[in-house]
Amino acid sequence: MSQHFVPDALPTRLQHYIGGEFVDSVGGETFEVLDPVTNQPYATAASGQKADVDAAVAAARQAFAHGPWPRMKARERANVLYRIADAVVEQEDRLAELETFDTGLPITQARGQAKRAAENFRFFADLIVAQHDNAFKVPGAQVNYVNRKPIGVAGLITPWNTPFMLESWKLAPSIASGCTVVLKPAEFTPLSASLWAAIFKEAGLPDGVFNLVNGLGETAGDSLVKHPDVPLISFTGESSTGQTIFRNCAEGLKGMSMELGGKSPAIVFADADFDAAIDSTLFGVFSLNGERCTAGSRILVQRDIYDRFCAVYAERARNIKVGDPHDPQTQVGALVHPEHYDKVMGYVELGKSEGRLLAGGGRPEHLPAGQENGSYVAPTVFADVAPDARIFQEEIFGPVVAITPFDTDEEALELANGTKYGLAAYVWTSDLKRAHNFAQDVEAGMVWLNSHNVRDLRSPFGGVKASGLGHEGGYRSIDFYTDQQAVHITLGDVHTPKFGSLDDAAKLDG
């Protein structure tokens, strides 16, 4: 393997960012951050406790209640958001290097992340400037209009897969709406989040609008969820964590947006464009190391083409280049953390008794063994996987796919809907009627017909069943971070019964 790449000026100490200042934890607590290629600690991060979250929320609350940001004109806020987008793009190479170093994502796949993150800021800048709210008129009687107001301090809690880009999904609409925020990034991958502070400051975002608290979910995340001055929690992560947060939000009756796990099916009918389906379903599960929420990790293939599909798919999977994430040839890099590697490897071993192993099945043979040599898993393909198998039912979040045959459309639908999740579905067929009817019936928040996941920021993004609650994307995100107050103006006479007056009493008597 090539010499291990370490980015220049790699920070070795990561702090919180509160009220425009970098600070350590009040009590000095820290945790270690590992590099997934050596699994050795490379940095020490401040580990947020309740006191640190209290300080961050106080700064955000101050900026919301007394600062200029929520009161600025939409155009003024948009100009700041455009400058943020420009600064993110300027950091593209640096961001890709840091993201790859921290997460183990292949560098070629990390490179697109800055543009996608920047696009989120541009999109919401445009949206708030163009936004108009409803007015309802009853001529001669009443005019009612909607007065949209930012809600307050939003708590943003994010996962470790494509961390910077996923943070931008929440940061862009929340601050565009005029909220102030406290971000709690994932503890496995805090490095790229440390870039936001300088980007925001340079773009002219007032201090206190953006605050960052690093730390573990059970301490920093939990304190943020339970803080009484945080009325909104936007969370992306595992479904089981979402359930815990849901329970904890109940006490404060908080607004919640939840983007959770998935076990999305790709359904390949015999009439599909075979080559396109092979390319897309390979990319759909093995890109981003398989650590993607919308991965098409169950492939359902119609019996007529099943054997051919499995053979070609497995052959291609065996040829995928696994290795150093910084090598531009690499297609699958190192998994994010040894804990996650152990989880994925557990499923790989389980799969050997639940399916027919066609490719992979462990560490790639050309890479040295041992945790100190990185968390590598060969792209693993299991065929003939029964619908009650755990590798069919449970989210693995790694480069592992289960392939299952079907005969009829009805059977395909039953298999597709047969898990607790409902994030995405990918349908491969050249029959227009079948494609649309299947999309109608499949239990998934998002469906792609003859494609893998390609986004349009205006469309709703989110899952059904155990995959999420609420949708992000376009105006839905703005709706989440704002209240729509109804203001009523009377234009005519309003009949008001005169409670307690003698006139009314006389009328009643009469």
Active site residues: 259, 293
Closer to ligand NAD by Cβ: residue 173 or 463? 463
Closer to ligand NAD by Cβ: residue 70 or 261? 261
Q: Does 241 bind ligand NAD (CB under 6 A)?
A: yes
Q: Does 36 bind ligand NAD (CB under 6 A)?
A: no
Burial of 470 by CB count in 10 Å (0-12 exposed, 13-18 middle, 19+ buried)?
middle
Q: Does 245 bind ligand NAD (CB under 6 A)?
A: yes
Closer to ligand NAD by Cβ: residue 230 or 299? 230
| Among positions 38, 79, 142, 244, the unique one binding ligand NAD when judged by CB under 6 A | 244
Q: Does 409 bind ligand NAD (CB under 6 A)?
A: no
The CA-CA-CA angle for residues 480, 486, 490, to 5°, reads: 170
Asked if residue 430 lies in contact with residue 270, where contact means CB atoms within 8 angstroms, the answer is no
Q: Does 290 bind ligand NAD (CB under 6 A)?
A: no
Q: Does 222 bind ligand NAD (CB under 6 A)?
A: yes
Q: Does 468 bind ligand NAD (CB under 6 A)?
A: yes
Burial of 318 by CB count in 10 Å (0-12 exposed, 13-18 middle, 19+ buried)?
middle
Q: Does 230 bind ligand NAD (CB under 6 A)?
A: no
- Closest contact distance (angstroms) between CB of 294 and ligand NAD is 7
- Closest contact distance (angstroms) between CB of 434 and ligand NAD is 27
Percent helix, strand and coil across the chain, each to the nearest 5 = 40, 20, 35
| Among positions 25, 161, 180, 234, the unique one binding ligand NAD when judged by CB under 6 A | 161
Q: Label residues 429-466 b or e (16+ Cβ within 10 Å = b).
A: beeeebbeebeeebbbbbbbeeebbeeebeeebbbbbb
| Among positions 150, 399, 422, 463, the unique one binding ligand NAD when judged by CB under 6 A | 463
Q: Does 46 bind ligand NAD (CB under 6 A)?
A: no
Q: Strands 468-469 and 16-18: what pairing?
A: unpaired
Asked if residue 235 lies in contact with residue 259, where contact means CB atoms within 8 angstroms, the answer is yes
Residues in the chain: 510
Q: Does 120 bind ligand NAD (CB under 6 A)?
A: no
**Among candidate residues 235, 232, 206, the one with its CA nearest the CA of residue 62:** 206
Asked if residue 122 lies in contact with residue 81, where contact means CB atoms within 8 angstroms, the answer is yes
Asked if residue 440 lies in contact with residue 281, where contact means CB atoms within 8 angstroms, the answer is no
Q: Which stretch binds ligand NAD (CB under 6 A): 63-71, 182-190, 272-280, 311-319?
A: 182-190
Q: Which residues bind ligand NAD (CB under 6 A)?
A: 157-161, 166, 184, 186-187, 216-218, 221-222, 225, 236-238, 241, 244-245, 259-262, 293, 395, 397, 423, 463, 468
